[in-house]
Amino acid sequence: MFKNTFQSGFLSILYSLGSKPLQIWDKEVENGHVKRPHDDDIQSDVLEIIGSNIQSTFITCPADPSATLGIKLPFLVMIVKNLKKYFSFEIQVLDDKNVRRRFRASNFQAVTRVKPYICTMPLRLDEGWNQIQLNLADYTRRAYGTNYVETRALRLCVFRYMRIVDYGGYISPTACTQKRSSHRNSSYTSQCRKHEKFLWDGFEP
């Protein structure tokens, strides 16, 4: 999708305030819903994905299963609200060995497990809104000893609120907040700033 697109700075693939936030996403909903309610904490519209289990309700990008994202930017940034429910997401990447690897994070797993084609990791979230930053190049190197080439697909199995999913080439601690400050009120910016930290663990340096 983005292979022939000039990629620099941030590339948004989901923004809850957009006119069509799920335009390039596919929805799978069973015993649940995907809605865009108003969040009172930040006084803004958000994306809510609720389901009975993570296998039956999720969104996937790109919507076409035969297509790939082709995103070469190595940083994934997501802003999510902790509703104290199960949450999982999965990223498929391509490395310089031409092997497709998957990274899956969830808040119901306790330890990191690395297998040939998938790495599963625990995810810790603070109260309220969280900014999650994932360095895919670093994780690919540490898990498999190979180099990150591009992101091919992303799946969100979410039982909570989503606001933004961005890819970036370089991320400073306040980059995402600064970039989106014109779209947020001061209440949201202040609250998100409390959680601007790397929320993953499990790998040894």
Residue 199 lies in a domain: no
**Which comes out higher in pLDDT, residue 194 or 155?**
155
- Where would I find the H helices in 34-171? 136-144
Residue 119 lies in a domain: yes
Distance CA 192, CA 128 (A): 8
Phi, psi of 193 (to 5 degrees): -60, -30
Quick check: helix, strand or coil at residue 165?
Answer: strand
User: pLDDT tens across 2-24, in order?
Assistant: 776 767 677 888 888 888 888 88
Query: Mean pLDDT in the chain?
Result: 78
Question: Is the residue at 170 inside a domain?
Answer: yes
In the chain, % of residues over pLDDT 90: 31
Domain range for residue 64?
10-193
CATH code of the domain covering residue 101: 2.60.120
How many angstroms separate the CA atoms of 125 and 132, rounded?
Answer: 9
**144 HSE (CA, 13 A, CB side):** 24
In a domain, 84, yes or no: yes
- Whether 97 is covered by a domain: the verdict is yes
Over the stretch 30-67, which tens digit does the pLDDT of each residue have? 877 888 888 888 888 888 888 777 777 888 899 998 99
Number of domains in the chain: 1
